[in-house]
Amino acid sequence: MKAGTWHAVLSLDKGGVIFEVKHGGYQPVAGPDFAPWAPVENAPGKARRAKYPGFCRLNSPN
């Protein structure tokens, strides 16, 4: 995966653990930092999308 790529990880195993490592030191983000495709707060359909994590295919750019 290229640096700066928005991504999500979903564990399909109950009790699974995900460990993500980034290069470099911690860099706090000033202000909100959301993916451009993420629904805005209280947007119609937001709850439906959050309940269905299969909205994207594996390795899909969408």
| Digit-coded pLDDT (tens) for 5-17 | 887 777 777 888 8
| Digit-coded pLDDT (tens) for 12-57 | 778 888 888 888 888 887 777 777 777 777 878 777 666 665 555 6
Q: What is the pLDDT of residue 59?
A: 63
Amino acid 7 reads H
**Based on the structure, what is the number of domains in the chain?**
1
Please check whether residue 23 lies inside any domain of the structure. Answer: no
Please check whether residue 42 lies inside any domain of the structure. Answer: yes
Q: What is the pLDDT of residue 52?
A: 60
Q: What CA–CA distance (Å, rounded) separates 20 from 16? A: 13
**Beta carbons within 8 Å of 8's beta carbon, 6+ residues apart:** 53
For every residue of 33-56, DSSP letters joined together read: ---TTSPPTT-TTHHHHHH-GGGS
Q: What is the pLDDT of residue 26?
A: 83
pTM of the model: 0.41
Please check whether residue 51 lies inside any domain of the structure. Answer: yes
Domain residue limits at 50 = 31-61
